[in-house]
Amino acid sequence: MPLKRTKKKTLIKKHQDHEKDTGSASVQIAILTSRIDQVTKHLQEHKKDNDARKGLLGMVAQRRKLLVYLKMNQPTKYQEVLEAHGLKR
C-alpha cells in the first residue's frame, strides 16, 4: 500500500531541511508515519492479514531506528519531529 504521489510530495515539502532534501531522517520518519497510519487502519478492518502485520512491524522498527539516529545526532530536530507527528518517547 504505497502512498499517493501527491501526499508523499506534500510530506516531503513540509519536512525537508532544504530545497533538494528528499531523504533526510525527518522526511523518512514523516513518510513512514503516514504509511504506518495507513496500514494500521487497514489492519483494523482485516484482522487476519498477517503479511500486512509483518510489514507494519518492519516499518515501526525502521522508524524507531531513524528516531534513535536523530536523538543522538540532532536532539532539537528530534523534539520537533516528535511534536509534529504526536509520537511518544
CA-to-CA separations, 44 to 9, 40, 50, 52, 77, in angstroms, rounded: 27, 6, 12, 11, 32
Q: What is the pLDDT of residues 3-46, one digit of tens each?
A: 899 999 999 999 999 999 989 999 999 999 999 999 999 999 99
Cell for 54? Answer: 509483518
Cell for 39? Answer: 496500514
Cell for 57? Answer: 512491524
Model pTM?
A: 0.91
Q: What is the pLDDT of residues 41-57, one digit of tens each?
A: 999 999 999 999 999 99
* N- to C-terminal Cα separation, the chain: 27
The residue with cell 507527528 is 85
